[in-house]
Structure formats: structure tokens, C-alpha cells
Amino acid sequence: MTEVSEQQTAVQEQTAPGKTILFDIQRQDTPESAPYMESFEIPYKPNMNVISALMEIRRNPVNKNGEKTTPINWDMNCLEEVCGACSMVINGRPRQSCTALVDQLTQPIKLEPMRTFPVVRDLVVDREGMFDSLKKIKAWIPIDGTYDLGEGPRMPERKRQWAYELSKCMTCGVCLEACPNVNDSTNFMGPFALSQVRLFNTHPTGAQNKDERLAALMTDGGIAECGNSQNCVVACPKGIPLTTSIAAMNRATTVQMFKNFFGSDHMVD
């Protein structure tokens, strides 16, 4: 029997009908208080994901010792891996809890908040820093809305399909949690922001602000902070080619640097 099949058998035995599921959940009452672990044991149900298990605990917030406790706090929204709200660390791996099936997890299932972000309470984190980074790189197509601009320039179908892969980013924060360069010692905005610059700069209309976005990547916290660990592309739940985007933006910022130094009139893109 292979190692993979042995692990699958062990997981199936742990989650067979009539069994219970054991969770070790990291709690934190306030942003300033110290974290602590609390264990819960709930009845097994077929096809449960982590979210449905948390809902069961919320319905009856009693820990493994039979003590009444406060319900677990966590974020969720779409429940189909689109919004990115339910990101947390599950058995040591940052991922979406809506697609984390209990049958595929080794027990006890350990749930922790993503420590890259400030913890608000329990598994809820403040991802405001991610949205600040999107503002910094101008991740939008600017229009003033004062009149009808008509149809924009068309993108070739092949390029549109390629851009769609980059547009799948749901600002979940998993790539930041997996990146060793996102820490208290740096201001690195993270892989997702670099990829978003690539997305908007290749759009026919978005390219009008190309220089501004590249300039943002060349400031503190930009592309120079990337250590090319490549953890991000492995962790990304949407399979976005983040390392390819980082390499493309590395080249683009280098070209932009020479443009700034010599003047754009003497440079060919």
C-alpha cells in the first residue's frame, strides 16, 4: 500500500459514519489578547467542509470538555471559492475553508488565522492592507463617468483568455500568508499586487496608466522585496501564474527604470 493510499484509509477511518470529528481551533478574544487553543468534537456528517463544521460548533458552542463557550468567529460569504473571505490556515496550510472537505483532512483538524494579517477575533483577520496595496498600484480602469465613452478597444480572444486567468484573483490573502517575504520586517505588498499590475497594464485602456503602476512597483514594498521563493504560485487556490507575472513585472520595471533615466523618447518598449 502506498503512502498516499494509507493516508486516505486513515482519514476515511477517522471520518466513517457514526464517528466524530475533532477540531483544534486557535481562539483570540480581542486584537490585543493572547491566542489560545480550544478543542471541539462534533458528529460526523457526509460531505462536510470546514465551514459546515464551524456552523455546527456555532449552533452548539460546547468544547470537547463539555464546557459552554463562545461561538467561533470566522469570515465567509460566497461558499464557492470566489470571494476569498474564508481564508484561514488549515492543518498548517493557508487555504479556503469552503473547499476544505473534512473527509480529506487528517484529524485533529487544526484551524488558525492567517498571521500575516492583524487578527480581529478568532479566525477573523483584517485584510485592509491588501486593499491599500490595490489602491497604491491603481488596480482599476479610470473613467470620469461624465459622458458615454462608447465601446472600448477590443482585445484579441487569445489575449482575453490569458488575461482572464490573471483576473481570477479574489484577494483572499493566501499568497501573502505563504510568502516568507511578507513579514514585519518588510513592506512587501505581495505577489497578488504584482500580478494585478500586469493584468491592468496589458488592458488596452488600462495601459494608459502603465507608467504610474510600474512606478508604484518600484517604490518601497514593491517588486524589489520579492525573494522568488515561489511559495505563492503553489498556494494560490485559483492557479494564477504568479511567478510568471513577477518575472514579467521585473522586466517591465527594469525597462521603466531606463526610460526614467534616459528619457522615454530614446527608449523602445
pLDDT for the residue 266: 52
Distances (CA, A) of 57 to 21, 61, 74, 157, 223: 11, 5, 12, 47, 42
Residue 10 pLDDT more than 70?
no
What is the amino acid identity at position 150?
G
Residue carrying the nine cell digits 472537505: 101
Q: What is the mean pLDDT of residues 111-127?
A: 97
> 3-state class of 251 per DSSP?
helix
**What's the pLDDT at 265?**
53
Which residue shows C-alpha cell 514585519? 184
Of 139, 143, 247, give the one whose Cα is nearest residue 193. 139
Q: What is the mean pLDDT of residues 29-39?
A: 97
Show the domains of the chain with their CATH numbers.
Answer: 3-125 (3.10.20.30), 128-266 (1.10.1060.10)
188 phi, psi to nearest 5 deg:
-55, 125
Say what the pLDDT of residue 15 is.
Answer: 47
> Which one, of 78, 185, 175, lies nearest residue 130 by Cα?
175
Q: Quick check: pTM over 0.75?
A: yes
User: What was the pLDDT predicted at 2?
Assistant: 55
- Give kind and range of the element (H or E) at residue 108: none
- C-alpha distances in Å from residue 188, one per residue of 133, 152, 160: 9, 34, 29
pLDDT for 87: 97
Predicted confidence at residue 71, as pLDDT, reads: 95
**Per-residue pLDDT tens digits for 66-87:** 999 999 999 999 999 999 999 9
Strand order in the sheet with 93-96: 36-43, 20-27, 109-112, 87-90, 93-96
> Which neighbouring-strand residues pair with 124?
121
* pLDDT tens digits, 146-200: 767 777 788 889 888 999 999 999 999 999 999 999 998 899 999 999 999 999 9
pLDDT at 4 over 80: no
